[in-house]
Structure 1
Amino acid sequence: MLGRSYEVRGVIGTGDLSSDGLVCEVLVDSGVLVPAHGFYACQLSDGSRGSWEVTVSISPSTGGAGETITVCPIDSSHYLGVGVAEGRARLTFVSRLEEPTGGDLPPWSVDRLVELAADARRARG
């Protein structure tokens, strides 16, 4: 994307997502510059338990204070709701996956993010 890694730091929360712990949210302050709304491949680190390869979607937060980044593991054997500790997080952006209007599912949907993770997993072999 930039020719180098770009990192965003925020706070992990489970939010209102109901997907059995498959996804979590990273809430980013309004003063932090995040990439354009869309889908990305990233590396997530919570600073305590490790790091995970993930797909993310970036969308405006409903409260208007910053951005909400929805995170889904590429390897479906990792359930972020169980493995990731709530608190500070770091996302390292690797590449943009597609425009937010692509695909048959509604943009910004958790189901779309899970589908992108499956596509990334298949592409890795």
Structure 2
Amino acid sequence: MFKVTSNHTFKNPARLDIDKTTQGKTSDYSHAVSGVNQILDRGNIGISDRSKNSVIDNVKKVETGARSEVNAHQREALNFGRDAFVSFSKGQFKQGAVEALGSGLNAAASGFKSTYTPTPHEKQGIDPW
């Protein structure tokens, strides 16, 4: 999905924490998080503690099957939307624009993923119909 280089040195400690969480994970979600996280670090784009913790929680739960990728994207759409509002209200327009874009992309990813990704119950053989 995104080109991730192993020799990238993270500048932002919060982004390094996210990167450490994605290492060794196999889900599409964790791979997408890893790539976007590295791109944003290269662009010197920060992340709130709330969103960092949410992303880390999502990576862990998606990997274990406790949360669907669809739900993880929905949660990030909400969190990044909140962050965008806060950033804009503080006059941090670049940060807010990136967070708003992240919110929109996560909302779109949620809709797209919902068309073909099985829910945790479906993965356990529980048919919704």
Indicate the TM-score class for this superposition, using the shorter chain for normalisation: under 0.3
- The TM-score, its normalising length taken from structure 2, stands at 0.25
Larger of the two Rg values belongs to structure: 2
Larger fraction in strand: 1
Between the two structures, name the one with larger relative contact order (CA 8 Å, sep ≥ 6). Answer: 1
- The TM-score, its normalising length taken from structure 1, stands at 0.26
Larger fraction in helix: 2
